[in-house]
Structure 1
């Protein structure tokens, strides 16, 4: 198309210049070129009596019409090939999904979904990804992943993913309500399939179990339990001092989109006098306090919900990265990233 357009534009410019040299005005020359190349043929603006001008006009017709048809053909070919390849790719993917049996269905291709399918691929487990975001699906498809575009809570979408032949379904959507709907729909379609659901709010776990989930995973609680265990562990200092081991811990937390920070509670903070329960429930239930360091140096590991927050306390907290900013603003203190070894050592 670029070659054809180059020839077409060059032909038009040369033709206009040629008619101008023959004594025509610019507007007459442009009009003559347009009706000649595009085959309108209203008639010559000025008489074409000179044999040289006739030959020149013939060359303009041959070159201009050929290049215009070449460009048009290239455009049609580009559209046709793209549609054919898209249709063939969708048909091939549909055939591959229909041939699967005992596979996993992953609902959601966000941060957690990406890491999940990476692990499944590493373990050799066959899987299908369902998501509504075209950009995410295009990215997954470029890596050879079998994808289905649509809402995983819709029966036809799950049937298209082969839920009656699948062995497990994992719904890792960011919203708890969406995971509940997917669980309900999947359990209604297939009684035997194993369903594993993600939840953020602790109260959602019971709803997911009642909806038919066989297992519920809370990224926040998993991260909090692991960090609390390492804080309480006598060998925690050796783990922290080992840079490789500490980085591995941070990588594990990042899989779930979590971050551990140490926040200092200033005297004027709104949290002074509140309880651990008040702080953890001030958001959406996705923040957990794993340790409290008093101003006198005392450290409370695995603090109770009724423990009171005092001025100049330092709280080691686990939360989603996007939820930390409001907490830090309310505490009137800046978070210290957990990647700094000095934070856990202080705890």
Structure 2
């Protein structure tokens, strides 16, 4: 590609020199400047309007021949540079595709990541750091370019297509993770992948608890609900006796929020107020009303006592604070619907 650009630059330089030399030459032969410029243009570009002035002397004729040869040659050289640039680009893409196909064909016991969204990017980064071979399947040009920039192997296409899965080496793979944000697509991918490789370990992402059964019936060995991801780990970070209120520590909270944001999750504290519908309800009833879109990971009583992994039968009383993990868009809606106050979004007011 660099040689093609160099050729174009050289051609443009020669073309400019040919035009300038030609104009100066006609002027030297006694032509007016405007007539000289006009003669050069119609001669080089082959317009064919005829000579501006009769070419009476051999010098004028020989010089016109020089203008034709020099101008046409430089134009052809420039066009050749553009053709070379296009051809090299196509060849490079073709060679790159063949190279990746050969590499994928040699892979064994690798992982296949279906979808290079937020979760797919986190997963790819972790696998890369663990030096686990993997192939990404995606059909979005921007995400594909991002993955290729990082040096990842990418198979362009839809993961619901058997041909695409086979091109990604599904027959030699040991695990497939379908992490698309659409449950129906994940179900179809799991079903297709299971049919192609019965021994394959399939991990699937589910957006709602109702989808888990369908994904397992489709062939998924494990189903991960984003609202439950790292719930126990985060609860331990929050309630660990050796940590002084991890949520109030700038460094710890920044790291925690950064991790959750990559998964489209957030952690929030919801206070049970006097007019709250959930007052007197159990933890189990709260999660049922949440329809699997969040999980209660801790409960802080009014006296400051924190209960890690509260039991489903625990009854909520006035002043209790639910520490929940869920989707960024779902938690504010749930809090508004059941008149809960977000302690992380609003200033904390002590009531006695």
Q: 1:323 to 1:78 in 2, by over 3 A?
A: farther
Describe the SS at the equivalent of 1:47: coil
1:140 aligns with 2:144: no
User: How far did 1:52 drift?
Assistant: 5.7
Q: Secondary structure at the match of 2:244?
A: helix
1:82 corresponding residue in structure 2: 89
Between the aligned partners of 1:305 and 1:12, the Cα distance in structure 2 is 90
Among candidates 277, 283, 288, match of residue 273 of structure 1: 277
**2:110, 2:134 within 8 Å by CA — same for their partners in 1?**
yes
Q: Does 1:119 align with 2:129?
A: no
Q: Per the alignment, do residues 104 and 50 of structure 1 end up closer, same or farther by CA in structure 2, a change over 3 Å counting?
A: same
**In 1, Cα distance between the equivalents of 2:317 and 2:58?**
101
Q: Quick check: 2:187–2:215 contact (8 Å CA) kept in 1?
A: yes
Deviations 1:245-290 (A, max 9, x none): 55554454344232223467889xxx94257889868888433454
The 5-angstrom pairing of residues 114-193 of structure 1 reads 114-193=121-200
Displacement of 1:239: 5.2
Q: Compare 103-112 and 228-237 and name the one that shifted more.
A: 228-237
8 Å CA contact 1:265–1:313 kept in 2: the answer is yes
State the number of aligned residues.
Answer: 335
Aligned to 1:202, which of 187, 199, 209? 209
**Are the aligned partners of 1:168 and 1:193 in contact in 2 as well (CA < 8 Å)?**
yes
Deviations 1:71-113 (A, max 9, x none): 0110111011111111111111111111112211111111211
Judge conservation of contact 1:263–1:328 (CA < 8 Å) in 2.
yes
CA RMSD of aligned residues (A): 4.0
Q: Deviations over 1:47-73 (max 9, x none)?
A: 123566445534432432222111011
Whether the aligned pair in 2 keeps the contact of 1:107 and 1:171 (CA below 8 Å) is: yes
Question: Cα offset for 1:36?
Answer: 1.6
> How many angstroms does 1:152 deviate by?
0.5
Alignment equivalent of 2:267, drawn from 244, 260, 265? 260
SS at match of 1:140: helix
Check whether the contact 1:223–1:253 (CA below 8 A) recurs between aligned residues.
Answer: no
Unaligned 5+ segments in structure 1 are none
Given that residues 108 and 173 in structure 1 are in contact (C-alpha distance below 8 angstroms), is that contact kept between their aligned partners in structure 2? yes
Q: Is the 8 A contact 1:104 1:167 kept in 2?
A: yes
Normalised to the residue count of structure 1, the TM-score between the two structures is: 0.77
Looking at structure 1, the residues matched to 13 and 195 of structure 2 have their Cα atoms a distance apart, in angstroms, of 61
- 1:163: Cα distance to partner? 1.2
2:99 is matched with 92
Q: 1:3 aligns with which of 10, 20, 24?
A: 10
Contact 1:197–1:215 under 8 Å retained in 2: yes
Q: CA deviation at 1:221?
A: 0.7
Render the CA deviation track for 1:286-340: whole Å, top value 9, x for unaligned: 3345456678878776485996797x876544233455665677779787379xx
In the TM superposition, what is the alpha-carbon distance from 1:214 to its structure 2 partner? 0.9
Q: State the Cα distance separating 1:122 from its structure 2 match.
A: 2.1
SS in structure 1 opposite 2:52? coil
Per the alignment, residue 4 of structure 2 pairs with none
User: Hey, what's the Cα distance between the residues in 2 that align with 1:84 and 1:196?
Assistant: 37
Instruction: Determine helix, strand or coil for the equivalent of 2:230.
Output: helix
- Separation in 2, partners of 1:197, 1:96: 26
Which residue of structure 1 aligns with residue 110 of structure 2? Answer: 103
Alignment map for 1:224-235 (pairs within 5 Å) = 224-235=231-242
Deviates more, 1:118-127 or 1:40-49: 40-49
From the superposition, tell whether residues 29 and 299 of structure 1 become closer, same or farther in structure 2 (CA, over 3 Å).
same
